[in-house]
Chains A and B, each alone.
Chain A
């Protein structure tokens, strides 16, 4: 017997419904164990000494005073790294602890373990490091010709895209230079973890991360241990957004634990968190768009610079995204794009929600508005006239082979009624600061649409592993699901339960803790986990069902519990999405991506044009999600992703001077509050992708991409300013000078 499909769809809490999260009760009661909540008998605390300089040679390190501090258990430097002192997500170029040179402010130089976090900090301050300060390389556009920071020079990756006629001529041409500031993921749960030395000479690490297996491999290499002796278990993760894809304290805590023989906990504070993870790449983007008089795009040319900072992290993939998605969701026959990711002495940059597509979208959507103005066309009409659809070719030549409802998404946000003018003080720019009662306030409306690749691209073997076990407990069939897929807040644990319920028709599903005792699930990034781990869970369920069919052969049982009896069915499956291809290194042509996601936003803003203050009044979104496996969680992703895009538009930027971070705190790095986020009206389309499990489309990133340019377009509409840089600050609105790079 295998459960009948008609029953499956009706199972309580299955796919397409919004059951409560299995961790929700613990979370609202304050009982969910985040990485920073971990505790162990006998535990000691680790701390990290970091470079104060963005670029310096290390001349000497003197640990003697630090070692004298009572309560200190260990003080370590690069000499204490037993394995390879170099690691990296895509390219090993970053030391676990700096050796002869530091390449960014905040680079780890030494570690301390002590019995109290304060003792560790005091000892840390007694470590004497002699530095010979070097001139930092900080300008991404000139970095390629500057002092080489790594043996191979300062180029991390160059991706060219060439399609059509390079000399195509257009009746109307607009150009622009755009800048995107360095955004931070600003997840609330600081980097933390607990490393426990094991009797077998290995270590158990409990940590908040996005990808257990890639951490495991890097930690094992640095420790000089076989991976089997480095066991990772996911502890509670307080948000991630890309910022936990690279290592932070993982190797450090393990080094201290193995050296002292004591469980070692490390928790970053907020300032250290700003130094402890990679950020969104700042970018400079030069664009030229050409169109005929009817607004049909003829060509797009672009030169895109992405500042990777001191180490490569995921810069190569970010560069590929910026290039391959560089014209946006539009049909353009003639494309010439070059994107460069470079090394500098700025903070390292890597993954953040939107991953290269965010930077490009700010530029191409700004260009679409500029083009509409030059043509005297409505900006939404211009976009619709050029919108791609199913069957369109990307600049890489890849044909988009499932729904691409770009025009419809734009129509949906455009056709909503506009909000009334606010009456409450809180509705106005400046809010309760009481800076205006409406005088000097101008309303603006702006639109944007964006495109994102879902999943890992360019031929990467992108798979996940899931194990599903089914047995009778207390007379009832109960399923257990196990993966290594990191739950970072998005709700994958709920999705896994829903899939098992739907596939097996059982209501009781337990999700085991995620760890490295099972095969890799890949990264919780690229909007891919519901797709790929969801696919693996479904495949494991299919194997369970096949086993049930064997059990049922020749018998007549119409009840799952009776069929199972004492039998325990336990199946593991590995599942991968359809393969992708590398892109050609000269032309950028190739079927690089698995799936594309699209979202559109309309922003309505009120701007106090005298003070430069912006109030986003409403931020509506339309997105195609293929199939909403959990409609409530889908809305949560759209709302949260939109908020991060709003943050980049008007407030969020890590500001640096000569490579030194000037605002590593929530006092000076602002993220949207409940007063900054406006209400949202959301349209969710469900146009199934036949290639994906249940027809789903990755959800997490597209809303972050279009919200930034929509908000800026609205501010432009209100102020008439060019606003070529995000985040837009008050002085950009009030300044009497023409912003740099604005058209003459």
Chain B
């Protein structure tokens, strides 16, 4: 579907407000005709029929009524135009964000979040011009000029013909001038997205820039990016200004010709047209009326010209929207079955292959089982595929080949939302969200009371530092936990997992960033958590995996070894070498 067709197809979202806008503007245009007529009558009476104030009084009152009516209509038209666009914007923003959620983290990892943020905020706002201005203008341009022409023709068909023939010139020149404009609009939008993505990246990495003494250098980059945006904006605007100047010029020429033709005839001069054309006579009343209608005739055309640029802005923004909305989730037919297995859950990987791009296998036919209630540890060098295993299990990635079974049910058949209700996960770099510490712990169980939150925090060994904060659990946390140390964030994320009370728990380096003492305490908490639950633990530090029922050693997407700590330590394979590499640390925790 073309961008244009797509934009049009979203029209129903605007509801009746759009139709109302067109009707109100039509009514306003027709009342303008009436107003011109009344005014012409008054002037004609006073100037040529020596009428006094008393004679024209009824007309003056009529004029006042028209003024009032038009003012009301203008107000309502403006409101309904905005409301039409408002409901489209609100609906589309919601839809776009939800679609991003369906596409999931694997899609987002290939995107610049700053650009997506721009699409979701300014991009959606830019649609306003299309629905509030362009669409009504498009309809009105087909109604109002015709209506005015109908009023002008019986008065003076010569002037009517002038209007009729000059009118098409306007869209014609507009198209000629605007032909390169779409590309420029596209470019402008891309510059804007780039600028925003860059700013977000710089803001989030400002401390790093400072560490490298690069934050001042960045001034030049900011200046360049901002200036590029100015250039592309001005390119767009220059076309917009030029085309409205051309519109204005043609409208002026049209009005001038009408004025001359009427003036000449009123004065009694020969009109410079071939003599075989029977020139109609015109009275002052008719002439003045037509002259006042001429600008009204061109107004919808000029307006369309102006709004054409609003349309192009919307098209450029819509292109980004469509790009996202047209992307299909990797799992095209998401599962719908509720999860059948009861706690504790068992998980099985059957010859699972996965590649992020063709030819580069991240997982190469992986088969293993996590029996219900057991604790499985995954170890291996970085890049071995551990995180990929987790992402498959969480449903963020779909296997290229092979399948995952939960109990006896294929994960692909299960409703992912229901599946995730049974999961708790502590990622490598947990993120905290705007809100209080309690809100953050409650992420997976918003209805939990403070007691439950406290209990979870205690088990994650987070209670101590939280209680020490002046506001305790109500302390606001910044983005990425600004104000908290890495270990503290880690423990809040753990508390989150504890509170979730899920039958399957995935811990990805859950005890990294903790000092040995905290690690030992948290480990106790995890042991407690492991009771009656299935656990998948990923760790670099072997101390944290030795308590696992079974250890899987992963290398380049394959399982190279599996067994218990003691078995593997004696097997003399990769695991044994990893223990050796650990040296004193591994021994220390053996105590």
Do A and B form a real pair?
Answer: no
> Residues on A close to B: CB < 8 A?
none
